[in-house]
Structure 1
Amino acid sequence: MADRPTSERTNPTGPPPSVERADDSVTRRWRLLGLSWAHLLNDGAANYLPGVLPAILVSLDQPARMAGVLVAALTIGQALQPVTGWVADRIGGRVLVVSGLLISSVAGGLVGLVHTTGALIALLLLIGVGNAFFHPPALAGVRSLLQGRRGFLTSVFLVGGELGRGLWPTVASLITANFGLTYLWIIALPGLATVPMLLRSAPKLPAAPQRGRAIQWRRHASPMTLLIGYRSIRALTIFGLTTFIPLMWQARGGTLVEGASVITTMVTVGVVGNLWGGHLADRFGRRPVLVASALGSSGFIGFVVYLPGAWAWVAAAALGVALFLTASTTVLIGQDIFPENRSMGSGIALGLANGIGALLVLVIGLRVDDGNIESVFWILALLSLASTLLAIALPKSLMRE
């Protein structure tokens, strides 16, 4: 009788290694999609505020300048991400990912039930803490699932967050317009239903040893400063646009849902920029993507503000693509700057920069009233243009050129 093929002789009781590798790849991709879904729900519950901000200001009898304070309170907690990233690497597991989604969902669902400015600010700060818990370990978990094409596949995860930030403002505005602010508790339900799935399927990262490699702060200081500067301006631009576009729309006689839909268009179409940017960075290097994003964002802001009618939504879509070209690229740069602690690198690139951007929104917002809202957009356009210098200054070793 003829000998059996070598693969059958060496693996008589199980599938060939190629099948096992294919099964493992499919499992990894399903877990990546699960994390992306959790990212959508986390960021949706934590970032829908701009869609209902005009209604909240009216309910609290607060002026337009309070918008910057509220958005800053919502996002300042993200500055904790370097700390939560360090903790996540030390304790491992998936507890911070699950806790982050739980906190963001529950606190987000309670926003419409508070009746004083102080209580609302406290709740928004708590949402920011939930966001800080979720992102660094989730990003590190995503990286552990990736094999090749990291820029593009990291974009897949980040797309979930962008869809949440884009769709939930309009969802929240529809809930508010039809039922009232008190029914925003509906926002919490999808996240609560997803927590059991995360407990089972989120990557369970190993705990880092207490005596791991020391972080070389002096070596990393220069590229870290440049990246934080660039990302902070991106964060300020995104937060500023999502905060003041609905207020500008209302001041011009638009409805709550219309103003929210401009944000939704900008952020959801920005998914194209996210995926495209990750692909372009993998193919052509990171620096061209950083520069193109800064220049494109600066140029399209004016079109969103001044184009009439339906053209405003077209311009918002183009602006979203430009804004989010760098989403995955800047996270990967942060991780590469800090190879000793990639969760902390993600936290610096994403969270710390977002916290600084939130403070800048607060500073700008305190100078805003109903008569000069348009001046905010000129400031954002000029700062975005200036950020090209920071992209050019980043070290070549981080640019994959």
Structure 2
Amino acid sequence: MQISVQNQTTLQSTVYRILIAISIGHMLNDSMQAVIPAMFPILERSMHLSYTEIGWMAFTLNMTSSVMQPVVGFFTDKKPSPYFLPLAMGASLIGMIGLAFSSNYLFILISILFVGLGSAIFHPEGSRVTFLAAGSRRGFAQSIYQVGGNTGNALAPVFTALIFVPFGQFGAIWFTALAALGLVLLFSVSQWYSLQLSTYETLKKQLTKATAHTKKRRNVIFALSLLIFLVFARSWYHAGISNYYQFYLIEHYHLSIKEAQFYLFIFMIAGAIGTFFGGPLADRFGKRNLILASTLGTAPFSIILPHLSLTWAWLVVFLVGFILSLSFSTLVIYAQELLPGNIGMASGLIVGLAFGLGAIGSVFWGNVADHYSLTFLMFICSFLPLLGVLTWLLPSDKISHH
């Protein structure tokens, strides 16, 4: 069985200035999210938190953004809302103020809720802006958009080392300036977006008509369900590394908090680089092929990572981050082309629900670390990329040449 996802319509030309602007907005939005894991080692000591409580903080952030994203996407597919973009940044601004001044664990969680809500509102409309500005270069455009977000996330260990180690929790106040900058930038993007709404409705009808005859509803549901499961498993592995690898390095290799951030930064920035190259590679070699190569290709390196000396760990953690993230933007595009009339909801299901439900992994891994050990956590976690073999069951896609 094949599902053709080739774009049959004539799209407008690629609008690079909007792609760059929404990518920067994505970076600023995800920088707000990155503040939260950046604060983990600081709050763990200052508030005497358990690994499970740290897991609940990650869970609160990701579940807020994940559960709400498909809901926001479903709503905005029916009624696109350009000015949701600056509204999202406003919610994150409130969250940053709360994080800077919260004096107990409950207020920390409430502040995290605002950051998660801002992310849930931003992503579906950000994906629609990317779709409208992409023209015929959809893989490339999605990579530009997603690399902004991954870069924002990659800054978490930098924030820890340069801001939260010297300034403590109150360092979060510096990020209100980034949120204010994001408000101004996204307001200008919203003005352009609001002028494109008639174009979006036309494109949506054309895409739905052009692809409807190639898809059977049962096949689409199966492919989408499998895609969500693959992203879910991928995000469980990512949660294990991004939230707990720093603690493993501190405990196992006796590194300081600041030294451990170097390895985490290598992992995160490699992810941003992999995301950038992934979209064009998918355009060239096919989406399913890239998803398979990305997930299974990660497995040998993820399995050996916990057993390496520090001399090799930085190189292997880079390869893990790079290879795993090659498929990041491709997974989103694959879902969008399975649901061509529901760009926002498709993006919400993948970037939001499937990735965000991996937050359950944060709590699970925290419990594993508390009841067994960080070493056992890293060992079990390392085998998850092997589930990428299930990519073979996805319908093959025809490669579009533009």
Global fold match (TM > 0.5): yes
Contact 2:29 / 2:119 at 8 angstroms: preserved in 1?
Answer: yes
Q: How does 1:1-400 map to 2 (within 5 A)?
A: 28-77=15-64, 78-202=66-190, 203-204=193-194, 206=197, 220-252=220-252, 253-369=254-370, 372-389=373-390, 391-397=391-397
Shift of the 219–385 alpha-carbon distance from structure 1 to 2, 3 Å rule, reads closer
Comparing 377-386 and 141-150, the one that deviates more: 377-386
Shift of 1:370: 8.2
Contact 1:45 / 1:188 at 8 angstroms: preserved in 2?
Answer: no
Shift of 1:357: 0.8
Partner SS state of residue 273, structure 2: helix
Q: Distance in 1 between matches of 2:121 and 2:23?
A: 16
Q: What's the C-alpha RMSD, in Å, of the aligned pairs?
A: 2.5
Shift of the 83–259 alpha-carbon distance from structure 1 to 2, 3 Å rule, reads same
Shift of the 181–146 alpha-carbon distance from structure 1 to 2, 3 Å rule, reads same
CA deviation string 1:84-143 (max 9, x = no partner): 111222332312222222222431353242122222222222221111101111011101
Aligned letter for 1:251? E
Unpaired runs of 5+ residues, structure 1, are: 1-23
Contact 1:88 / 1:96 at 8 angstroms: preserved in 2?
Answer: no
Q: Which residue of 1 aligns with 2:3?
A: none
* 4+ aligned runs moved over 4 Å, structure 1: 215-219, 397-401
Q: Which residue of 2 aligns with 1:12?
A: none
Shift of 1:231: 0.8
CA deviation string 1:213-246 (max 9, x = no partner): 9x99756321111010011111111122110011
Aligned letter for 2:224? M
When the two structures are superposed, what TM-score results if normalisation uses the length of structure 1?
0.86
Specify the structure having the higher radius of gyration (Cα): 1
Comparing 358-367 and 329-338, the one that deviates more: 358-367
Contact 2:52 / 2:370 at 8 angstroms: preserved in 1?
Answer: yes
Q: Distance in 2 between matches of 1:99 and 1:36?
A: 17
Q: Distance in 1 between matches of 2:101 and 2:389?
A: 43
Q: Distance in 1 between matches of 2:373 and 2:381?
A: 14
Q: Distance in 2 between matches of 1:65 and 1:305?
A: 21
Q: Distance in 2 between matches of 1:398 and 1:132?
A: 31
Shift of 1:169: 3.1
Partner SS state of residue 374, structure 1: helix
Partner SS state of residue 61, structure 1: coil
Contact 2:151 / 2:268 at 8 angstroms: preserved in 1?
Answer: yes
Aligned letter for 1:42? N
Aligned letter for 1:74? L
Shift of the 108–399 alpha-carbon distance from structure 1 to 2, 3 Å rule, reads farther
Percent identity, aligned pairs only, is: 25
Unpaired runs of 5+ residues, structure 2, are: 1-11
Q: Distance in 2 between matches of 1:399 and 1:231?
A: 22
When the two structures are superposed, what TM-score results if normalisation uses the length of structure 2?
0.86
Contact 1:51 / 1:257 at 8 angstroms: preserved in 2?
Answer: no
Q: Distance in 2 between matches of 1:356 and 1:95?
A: 27
CA deviation string 1:338-396 (max 9, x = no partner): 1121110111111010222111322232222286112222222222101321x111112
RCO higher in structure (CA 8 A, sep ≥6): 2
Q: Which residue of 2 aligns with 1:17?
A: none
Contact 1:52 / 1:169 at 8 angstroms: preserved in 2?
Answer: no
Shift of the 376–399 alpha-carbon distance from structure 1 to 2, 3 Å rule, reads farther
Contact 1:50 / 1:260 at 8 angstroms: preserved in 2?
Answer: no
Shift of 1:39: 0.5
CA deviation string 1:54-84 (max 9, x = no partner): 2111222122232221111111112221111
Partner SS state of residue 62, structure 1: coil
